[in-house]
């Protein structure tokens, strides 16, 4: 495994294994866990540029970063208006962030049908204007997109050139078309074509659930790095595995995550969110269905911790 730093404009990530942004999951506590385990770069959840500009409190909550977080602070924005995205990038709320990642890959109908996310791949001129606008903020800018919108219409190389030409400092390429959502095989060749088309760093994304998956993705695409998405939801310690760092005490890590989530977000959020996370962490455990049923009946953090304390990871 070729682990090495990645230069992103004037910034430098300590290694090339990143945590991809995950809507509903990559909150401040989870980002810090992944960073501490070895992730070279983490991103906030997808944040609405319009929501920031119109003072939406729930949108602002997504930007919270733990005071003890170390490393590059990266925010993923979505939107389709260059002026609004520039306002968001220059906002006081984004002042602590050094990197803006523009979402041009989200496949979900609510985003796509609004002309945002992966819909921007069909409008390269507008996509370029958005990148150029965000660059005016003075921050480093990256773009995350898919290899195309549907089978037979692969746009990865062409869109990579659009991003580079507009000033992007890095791109992340998800190796599936929009219509596949998160299913199906990753198209290594399409990512490789994007890598060969530009000189900026190219991060490959899709299908990484183990160290061998990451090795395969990097070897078959020639990409400069790999971004882990759903694989981290099931096992954040995947970063220790890939980067060759010591494996954590998994039970202690999960209990600490529960405590820190309560500390920063309150009892109710911690209970609901960590029931969901613990259900992911149970994958492969004996009697996991029965344990999940008990987890989702927990009404307090202490009840949740009581179940975790009796598990073996």
Residue 17 sits at φ, ψ, to 5 deg, of -115, 110
Side-chain-side CA neighbours of residue 221 (13 Å): 33
Q: Among this protein's residues, is 106 annotated catalytic?
A: yes
Residue found under tokens 């523009």: 102
CB atoms inside a 10 Å sphere around CB 78 = 27
Report d(CA 250, CA 258) in Å as an integer: 12
CB 301 within 8 A of CB 271: yes
Check 34, 53, 75, 106 and give the catalytic one: 106
SS3 164: helix
Cα–Cα distance, 203 to 300 (Å, whole number): 39
Question: Cα separation of 65 and 50, whole Å?
Answer: 20
Phi, psi values for residue 67, rounded to 5°: -55, -30
Contact between 53 and 91 (Cβ < 8 Å): yes
Separation of alpha carbons 258 and 256, rounded Å: 5
Q: How far apart, in Å, are the Cα atoms of 222 and each of 195, 230, 239?
A: 7, 22, 20
Query: CA–CA separation, 19 vs 71, rounded Å?
Result: 13
Tell me if 174 sits within 8 A of 146, measured CB to CB: yes
Length of the chain as a residue count: 313
Q: Which residues are known catalytic residues?
A: 106
């Amino acid at each position: 495994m070729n682990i090495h730093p990645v230069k992103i404009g004037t910034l430098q990530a300590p290694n090339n294994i990143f945590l991809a942004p995950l809507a509903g999951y990559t909150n401040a506590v989870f980002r810090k866990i992944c960073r501490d385990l070895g992730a070279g770069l983490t991103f906030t959840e997808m944040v609405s540029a319009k929501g920031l500009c119109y003072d939406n409190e729930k949108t602002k909550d997504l930007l919270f970063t733990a005071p003890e977080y170390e490393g590059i602070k990266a925010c993923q924005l979505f939107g389709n208006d260059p002026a609004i995205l520039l306002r968001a990038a220059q906002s006081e709320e984004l002042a602590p962030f050094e990197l803006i990642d523009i979402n041009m890959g989200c496949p979900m109908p609510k985003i796509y049908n609004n002309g945002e996310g992966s819909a921007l791949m069909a409008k390269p001129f507008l996509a370029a204007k958005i990148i150029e606008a965000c660059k005016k903020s003075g921050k480093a800018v990256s773009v995350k997109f898919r290899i195309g919108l549907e089978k037979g219409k692969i746009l990865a190389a062409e869109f990579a050139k659009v991003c580079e030409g507009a000033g992007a400092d890095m791109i992340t390429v998800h190796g599936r078309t929009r219509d596949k959502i998160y299913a199906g095989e990753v198209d290594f060749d399409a990512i490789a074509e994007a890598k060969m088309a530009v000189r900026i760093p190219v991060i490959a994304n899709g299908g990484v659930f183990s160290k061998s998956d990451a090795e395969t993705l990097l070897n078959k695409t020639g990409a400069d790095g790999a971004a882990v998405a759903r694989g981290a939801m099931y096992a954040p310690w995947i970063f220790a595995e890939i980067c060759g760092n010591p494996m954590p005490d998994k039970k202690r890590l999960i209990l600490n995550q529960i405590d820190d989530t309560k500390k920063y977000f309150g009892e109710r959020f911690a209970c609901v969110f960590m029931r969901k996370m613990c259900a992911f962490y149970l994958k492969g455990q004996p009697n996991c269905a029965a344990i999940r049923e008990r987890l989702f009946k927990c009404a307090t953090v202490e009840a949740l911790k009581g179940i975790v304390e009796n598990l073996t990871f």
